[in-house]
Amino acid sequence: MGHQDSDSASECAESVGGGSSHVSFSGPLSGPLSGPLGGGGGGGGLRKPGAKRGARFKRGSASSEDESSYVEITLDVRDDTVEIHGVRGVDPEAVLLASRLEGRSSLGAQLSSKIRHVSQELRRMTSSSRRPSRRLDRTKSAATRALRGLHFVTHGSGAGAGSDEWGEVARRFEGLSVDGVLPRSRFGECVGIAESPEFAEELFNALARRRGITVGWISKVQLEEMWRQLSDEGFDARLRTFFDLVDGNADGRVTEEEVKEIISLSASANKLWKIQESVDEYAALIMEELDPDNLGYIELQNLEMLLLQASGDPAMTRPVTTESRTLMSQMLSQKLMPVKEPNPLRRLYKKVNYFMEDNWRRVWVLALWLSICVGLFTWKFIQYKHRAVFHVMGYCVTTAKGGAETLKFNMAIILLPVCRNMVTWLRTRTGLGVAVPFDDNINFHKVVAAGVAVGVGLHVGAHLTCDFPRLLHATDAEYAPMKPFFGDRRPPNYWWFVKGTEGWTGVVMLVLMAVAYTLAQPWFRRNRVRMPGMLRKLTGFNAFWYSHHLFVIVYVLLIVHGYFLYLQKKWYKKTTWMYLAVPMLLYACERLIRAFRSGQKTVKILKVAVYPGNVMALHMSKPQGFKYRSGQYISVNCSAVSPLQWHPFSITSAPGDDYLSIHIRTLGDWTSQLKSAFSKVCQPPNGDQSGLLRADITTKSLPRLLIDGPYGAPAQDYQNYDVLLLVGLGIGATPLISIVKDVLNHIKSKDDVETSKSDFKAKKAYFYWATREPGSFEWFRGVMDEVAEKDKEGVIELHNHCTSVYEEGDARSALIAMLQSLHHAKKGVDIVSGTRVRAHFARPNWRNVFKHVAVNHRDQRVGVFYCGPPAITRELRGLAQDFSRKTTTKFEFHKENF
């Protein structure tokens, strides 16, 4: 066969099926296979290596009218290797098409030798069992490798790093190339993915196949072109690489089974396990969209087009008007660009001015506290400097007594920030909240604890290292003035001091306070320290709670210690009890009120639901006369877990609801035991109920709960703002959900005469909830759906972010985005969140969030309320300050204690 035969065969293939490349032959099933069909020779036959070809043959013994007399064989041809993909009878349409082609006289003589070689090649391949054929057809593993490969390219040591890395790749090429070309086996090492040689070879083949490279090496120019594609982190480039890897035989088709596999792999890569459970449904949705003729496959180019459309879906982005875009651009170029003040004094002045503007309430409270501490220390220091003991003990005794005075003061006021009823009353019933930062009550409690530690250090350190040694080594003449305080005989050793009432009470207090302070640290309280064996009980909330309540013993010992003083014998000059009397009385009343109120305000459990993410929702009856504000919290006691412990939880119901609800995440000892106690009486849900386990009021033997509160919290100040920016991370969304519900209730009842005169200020609310687990969206699915249904005017903007999914625009999440768009358009439900609200992927860009709010609410005050881990507190506070200074929108940041 010559060049003419090749052209004829190619023409025949194109006339039959175009992209499918089927060739029909008539004659005996025998003859040579050569020329383009066999992969050898040049010509125009098989220009794309690894392509698929089909041939139909008519059996000589059958009549031409018999439809079953034709056999179709599909082959994969690459270089000199042939593989069978199917041998089957041909349908009537194919028979008719083959008979028409058979009538072409130019084919008979030219292809007879090819047919004989087909027979020989098929016999050789089917009889050989030792030499496995090279599988070039795309299987499920091809999709698996493609998705994993895309992840590897993105996170590999070389690819994905950007074009600046090309210089290093070029240098490696010079060292690895042979005669100016790079072999396939060294491609991975050259581009920086040598740790996965198998994938590197597959990647080489995929990139070479797209470029029509049939040899096993590439030039430097070709390498640079491949590198540019790999290092391009854009969506199109990533998607192109993914499909290059998937389309192993370059036929450009994906079957329904392969669609299922790709969906499953995409869901797995993005940790969306719920989507994996409905792979068949979602695959059918894609096939319905892209395969309306039920051909059983879809074209890759159509799938790619749909993915690109999904990545740019306008529904996934916030609506921004042309005017807003212009304003945003002006803000970026004129106001938000950082400008460094050249004058260092002015720069310092600005920093101090900004700091005072944002923190003046904290500053004056801390300044007052420090002034009192310094004043008390100085007063006692001067007082003892003019006493006889100063001539023996010197400045050691003045330091010890000054430290003791600050210690008494701080041990008194450390109780005030944790008198929650008093703090709540002051912030809600008085105007002190304007000047006093009640939101920082726990932080102030910690600051005072540090002051206690300093006082203890000064007092104990001065006594042990200075006072007592001086007294023990004093001469008889020097000791004479000390006899009224320490006795006629000079103390012989340290043990004399320790065994006295003053000594052992001080030592016990020191040990108890050290234990409480240590176990209160986050790494112990939050189980971040892994202790062996029984020492594990020293970590967790239980250890923190019980060690903190050792303060009862500490305060008793402090009063005793303050009464039996060495250097003061008159009772009215022993001032310890004077410092402690009022704070201890207030705290005692606090506990009595809790005991009385929790007994009076009994609750019934109406519903229990255990959700994914170790979260349990409790719906309780609202006690008569129980009034609260959204954002506040209650304390909960469960005697089945511990009759002593009370734990705070944010209220997730709205004041207008006829029930009270909280959501509890299992994070420590007490919450784990509480969930276990309720799970024992729960059952799997029925029908379309959410949650993993559920129970209601009809369930017997539900554990009994006591509640106390409500208590004030930063989030309750949302009513002071017309515009709200609510940010919750994980379970931190709980107090903000109550606010969303309250805003929604006002929307639903705004036409009522009574509520139309309400002083409710919120006109717009932006709610951003970021969570790692998609199942978390079930916690508040009812709220999300109700907002989507009732909020016709768009007062509430809900932005749910699933951080386990790769960001929007990443090729690894493109298929999920496409499914999300299709499913939401057809059924109105988001496949990620399970709600009617579309979920976003990855973490929010907080700067863009603030920018969006600033553009749409010029000359307004925006209340920013954040509840969640402290990781992004600094970023959000900084953005609020930055945008307040550089735009006309004033952001006021509030951090919920978490």
Q: Does residue 54 contact residue 18 with C-beta atoms inside 8 Å?
A: no
DSSP 181: B
Q: What is the Cα 68 distance to its own chain's centre?
A: 61
Write out the two tokens for 292. 């309306």
Give the residue with greater pLDDT, 898 vs 577. Answer: 577
Averaged pLDDT for residues 673-688 = 77
What digits encode the pLDDT tens for the residues 136-173?
Answer: 333 445 555 555 555 555 554 444 444 457 888 888 88
Instruction: Please provide residue 481's backbone torsions phi and psi, each rounded to the nearest 5 degrees.
Output: -70, -10
DSSP 602: B
Q: Does residue 615 contact residue 664 with C-beta atoms inside 8 Å?
A: yes
Q: Does residue 714 contact residue 629 with C-beta atoms inside 8 Å?
A: no
pLDDT bracket for residue 431 (50, 70, 90)? confident
- The pLDDT of residue 410 is 96
Q: Which residues contact 50 (CB under 8 A, 6 or more apart)?
A: 76, 77, 78, 136, 209, 248, 249, 250
Indicate if the pLDDT at residue 732 is higher than 60: yes
Instruction: Please provide residue 455's backbone torsions phi and psi, each rounded to the nearest 5 degrees.
Output: -60, -45
Give the residue with greater pLDDT, 668 vs 863. Answer: 863
- The pLDDT of residue 161 is 42
> What's the rounded Cα separation, in Å, for the pair 860 and 864?
13
- The pLDDT of residue 344 is 82
Averaged pLDDT for residues 589-610 = 84
- The pLDDT of residue 266 is 73
pLDDT bracket for residue 373 (50, 70, 90)? very high
Helix crossing, 551-563 with 395-413: angle to 10°?
140
- The pLDDT of residue 551 is 92
Superfamily of domain 601-711: Translation factors (2.40.30.10)
Indicate if the pLDDT at residue 103 is higher than 70: no
Across all residues in the chain, what is the average pLDDT?
75
473 Ramachandran zone, left/alpha/beta (phi>0; psi -120 to 50) = alpha
CA angle 707-708-709, nearest 5°? 130
> What's the rounded Cα separation, in Å, for the pair 12 and 28?
19
Indicate if the pLDDT at residue 307 is higher than 80: no
> What's the rounded Cα separation, in Å, for the pair 154 and 162?
10
- The pLDDT of residue 246 is 66
Q: Which of 11, 21, 25, 35 is nearest to 109 (CA)?
A: 25
- With the C-alpha atoms ordered 237, 241, 246, 250, is the resulting torsion angle positive or negative? positive
Q: Does residue 837 contact residue 824 with C-beta atoms inside 8 Å?
A: no
Least confident segment among 331-335, 434-438, 487-491:
331-335
Averaged pLDDT for residues 223-242 = 74
Q: Which of 610, 733, 724 is nearest to 678 (CA)?
A: 610
What digits encode the pLDDT tens for the residues 248-294?
Answer: 666 677 778 877 877 777 777 677 777 877 888 888 888 888 777 88
Indicate if the pLDDT at residue 531 is higher than 80: no
Q: How many CB atoms lie within 10 A of CB 106?
A: 12
pLDDT bracket for residue 8 (50, 70, 90)? very low
Indicate if the pLDDT at residue 56 is higher than 80: no
659-665, strands of its sheet edge to edge = 659-665, 615-621, 605-611, 693-696
Strand-strand pairing, 70-78 and 81-89: antiparallel
pLDDT over 90, % of the chain: 17
pTM of the entire structure?
A: 0.67
> What's the rounded Cα separation, in Å, for the pair 415 and 425?
16
User: Helix, strand or coil for residue 435?
Assistant: coil
Domain positions in the chain: 3-127, 140-311, 374-421+436-563, 601-711, 714-803+843-895
pLDDT bracket for residue 92 (50, 70, 90)? very low
Count each helix (H run) and each strand (E run) in the chain, helices first.
35, 21
What digits encode the pLDDT tens for the residues 766-820?
Answer: 999 998 887 788 888 888 888 888 887 888 888 988 887 766 655 566 677 777 7
Indicate if the pLDDT at residue 453 is higher than 60: yes
- The pLDDT of residue 345 is 84
Instruction: State the CATH class of domain 714-803+843-895.
Output: alpha beta
State how far the alpha carbon of 349 is from the alpha carbons of 341, 355, 877, 891, in Å: 11, 10, 20, 22
Give the residue with greater pLDDT, 634 vs 276. Answer: 634
DSSP 236: H
Q: Does domain 140-311 have CATH number 1.10.357.10?
A: no
**Token pair 């004659």: residue:** 27
